[in-house]
Chain A
Amino acid sequence: MAMLIFLVVFPLVIAVLAAVLPVAFHKIRKIIGVIAAMVMSIIPIYLLVTYLDAGPAYFKLENPLIDICMLVVELFIAGLVVYISIRAKRYLPVLLVTVQSAIMFSFELTSGRGIQIEHSLFVDKFSIIMALIIGIIGSIICLYAIGYMTEYHEHYKELKNRRRSFFFMMYTFLAAMFGLVFSNNLLWVFFFWEITSILSPLLIGYRDDTPSIEALFRTLNMNLIGGVAFALGIVFLYSSSHVMELDKMLHLNKSYVLIPAVCIAFAGLEKSAQFPFSSWLTAAMVAPTPVSALLHSSTMVKAGVYIILRVAPALVNTVAANMLMLVGGITFLVTALIAISQSNAKKVLAYSTISNLGLIVACAGVNNDTALWSALLLIIFHAVSKPLLFLCVGIVQYKFDSIDIEDMDYLIMRLPKLTAAMVIGMAGMFLAPFGMIIAKFGTLIAFIDKNPGMAIILAYGTAATVYFWTKWMGKVMTIKYGVTQYDEHLVSRWEKFSLALLAIATVAVSLAFPFISSRLVDPYVQTVFGKFPVIGTFNELIIFVMLVSLLIILPLGLVYYSYINKDYVRVGLYLGGANVDDIHFEGAMDQKQTADLKNYYLTKYFGEDVLVNIGVIISLTLIFIMFGVSVL
């Protein structure tokens, strides 16, 4: 238990240090960052080793001081929301936060004294998976941020340097995430949930310009709506069954648990940016890249699917679960299609994130062993590859002053190492033999058994996914003979180091797939459903062989083609006339013609404006049905 509390408190200490130490002490701040990263990576691994062969463990922790602290922080958060909203002359958040506070405080006053909590904290395989993601990936991103934010302020001189509060919020956020995944007491879960809800908009609004503030309030509003639903769920649960613990809740009679579970799942839908809430996540891309990587790809959005997967067993065989499945499925398909039409790299990443989360939500709705197995693997593999892509795009954004994919021509010639990392990240998202695609086909099996309509959605969504990744990959890998501009030296050591770590991690988790599946995911699925899916040793072997052969062939091939193979004759491109350079040629009538191409984006079919509306309307209907059948 001490380890769990330490994991929550330690990032807080670092956060305070980051806030107190002046920016001028750059060296010391860096050292603290490295130490923090090491500690936060090692402790979850220690937890993993300790609990590798053990089942879930529950801990009792009672201290009135903790409750008072939480109350004070909650009051402070409510006050903060009111302050920033009134300062910006926006009144919806004020209303929402008032409603939410009214619910929680009246609840605390009327029944707060009598709540008996047996176990406040717990740890099981799922918490450990989340803790590993938060600890390792989170701290790598924070390391990257140390280098990145320095450049950020050199680049945007007009911005006010609020780096200290930035790092304070980043580390506090990690603390809250740790708290969230280890809490069994639902009031604590809600408390940590609310902290992430407020930190996310504040970090999004870091730049403090019009689009950022717009995004800030959009996120804030949606988070508060989710928060109200969460609060209502808790109050319902306690008033009907006098239970306030996550594990006990799942063993309650269906009639007690249905409404609270639906409310909490709704809050989860909001946090994981499913339709109709997708717009906050795409708007949030104005934030500095480490924020996008940390909150909007690897950790916070995962908190949404985490809570949904936690309460989903309470919904087995209900209409609500089917609605959850459909909301996830629609979100998966529609956002994958929208991603085809986007040329802004960060938006492609955002939509791809929403799409993957949709698949996880759909798995939660399907609610059987195979689905849960795939969902956990999707969480793991996505959490490693996606931040890598965000960090790559963040660097390109500085060097080229653009995040348009069409401006990434010849990236492999200008930033070869970065491009390699980027390609690994993209391959990790959709190509065999990386783990993501294997998890995805786990979902195929789960969907076929449950509902073939979902299998059709998956088939089309996967095709769309292949499209937008492949064309991006092709773009950055275009080679043009004679391009000599080489920008690799512009990438700082910190950034290179974190990219390398994440790229290695992407390959490593796929290599470790049999281990992750058999030692982490299977036992958890076993505790929930009493059985787990079997992939078969032969199939695992083939995947492993594919991965290893790629790992051998790719470097060998690159060495062979760069240094050993001399048996070729180089010629110019065929352009349709006499070449002037790589994109111009002398055409007929002695005219200089240009032959250059951009990618297709198919906006006519997959334009964002139309498809988002369709997704919102369908999912709103489904969510109304979900609430309707649960309440009636």
Chain B
Amino acid sequence: MTTMQEIFQSLTIVERMLVFVFIAPLVGGFLSGCDRKLTARLQGRYGPPIRQPFFDVLKLLQKENIVVNKFQNFNIVLFFIFTVFAGALFFAGANILLMIFSLTLSGTFFVLAGYSVGSPFSHLGAEREIIQIVSYEPMIILLAAGMYMATGSFDVAAIAMHKKPLFIALPGVLAGFLYILTIKFRKSPFDLSMCHHAHQEIVRGLTTEFSGPALALIEISHWYENVLLLGIVYLFFAFKPWLALVLTLGIYVLEIVIDNNYARFKWQLTFLSSWLFIAAAAGSNIIVLHWIK
């Protein structure tokens, strides 16, 4: 049961970071492949092979580098670096607040990438991306607050080693986090800023002007981010590692089901519903936690 925790503890911080940097894209790509397969089955299609996301990215990397201005890809590189850094911090067991800083920074670079190209579609996508960030930002902070209140530490390592089941102390925080997880996974009903299918009203939103290698980098960053997010879900059940792993995958499947069952929300609804739901679920949870202490 505890072998996973033992392996984790036997590694140094740098080793943990390196493991994340090399393993996460493989896991992320694989999960993405499963996602596409499952989605296809839900829609009555056969679907691509599970390896398909890797082929896609490899092909994108070989494409010509087409840009509208020569600086646009720099922001994407920065977005990639700080997403990976955030994930590495998390899996190294570092302070969860620092992970949030790094993630916010990477998110900002992604938005700036959208703005920097100057296309109206991209601009609109970037703005919707900010609205998405603003929608989930309170939840991310309350997540850190809740975990600190329940375990007495901001360190991911300490939270992961916490002996009591976190989801019992933090049901509202978990609910709120699952709500915004859909935004972070860029899944319907919250895939406002860009969606995986180029058929929405704003073409391909933020990524309209990004192609080839830059698009591949965005995709890889997305894989890293997904693994990081599932890592956070894992923390809620970390008292029993194998159960946690199963439940985390279960929640990923749930997100795919949600993705396939909802039409896209308007940004107003996304924004308001997230803020209200976060306040009702996570906010009340934190206040209750303070009182019963």
Contacts and interface: CB of A to CB of B under 8 A. Distances in A.
Interface string B99-126: 0011011001001101111111101101
Residues of B in contact with A, size category: 35 or more
B98 A575 contact: no
A597 B120 contact: yes
Contacts of B69: 479-481, 570
Interface residues of A, number: 64
A583 B208 CA distance: 15
A538 B154 CA distance: 13
A557 B77 contact: yes
B55 interface: no
B66 A562 contact: no
Contact of A546 (B85, B118, B149, B290): B85
Contacts of A599: 127
A561 B74 contact: yes
Interface string B268-285: 000010010001000100
A627 interface: no
Contact of B130 (A462, A471, A481, A571): A471
A383 interface: no
B134 A463 contact: yes
A431 interface: yes
A557 B71 CA distance: 9
B134 A452 contact: no
Contacts of B66: 568-571
A474 B115 contact: yes
A444 B143 CA distance: 12
A478 B115 CA distance: 5
Interface in A530-578: 536, 538-539, 542-543, 546, 549, 553, 557-558, 561-562, 565, 567-576
A10 interface: no
A47 B66 CA distance: 57
Contacts of B111: 470, 474
Contacts of B97: 441, 444
Contact of B65 (A433, A538, A569): A569
Contacts of A480: 69, 118
A180 interface: no
Given A444-B145, A455-B145, A561-B73, A553 B78 contact: yes
A252 interface: no
Contacts of B279: 456, 460
Interface centre among A444, A452, A571, A575 (most CB of B within 10 A): A452
A474 B114 contact: yes
B211 to A, nearest CB: 9
B169 to A, nearest CB: 13
A462 B141 contact: yes
Interface string A32-63: 00000000000000000000000000000000
A455 B142 contact: yes
A99 interface: no
A377 to B, nearest CB: 15
B286 A460 contact: no
A451 B145 CA distance: 12
A539 B153 CA distance: 13
Nearest to A451: B290
A478 B118 contact: yes
B133 interface: yes
A609 interface: no
A473 B112 contact: yes
Interface in A430-474: 431-433, 437-438, 441, 444-445, 448, 451-453, 455-456, 458-460, 462-464, 466-467, 470-471, 473-474
A569 B108 contact: no
B85 A445 contact: no
B168 interface: no
Contacts of B275: 460
B68 A459 contact: no
B95 interface: yes
A445 B137 contact: no
A401 interface: no
B107 to A, nearest CB: 9
29 contacts: A431-B105, A433-B101, A459-B142, A460-B138, A460-B275, A462-B137, A463-B133, A463-B141, A474-B126, A477-B115, A479-B69, A479-B116, A479-B118, A481-B68, A481-B118, A539-B94, A542-B94, A546-B105, A565-B70, A567-B65, A568-B66, A569-B64, A570-B67, A571-B66, A573-B68, A573-B118, A574-B121, A574-B208, A600-B127
Given A451-B290, A572-B68, A576-B121, 14 more contacts: A432-B104, A433-B105, A444-B144, A452-B289, A456-B138, A460-B275, A462-B137, A462-B138, A471-B127, A477-B112, A479-B71, A539-B94, A546-B102, A561-B70
Interface of A: 410, 431-433, 437-438, 441, 444-445, 448, 451-453, 455-456, 458-460, 462-464, 466-467, 470-471, 473-475, 477-481, 536, 538-539, 542-543, 546, 549, 553, 557-558, 561-562, 565, 567-576, 582-583, 595-597, 599-600, 605
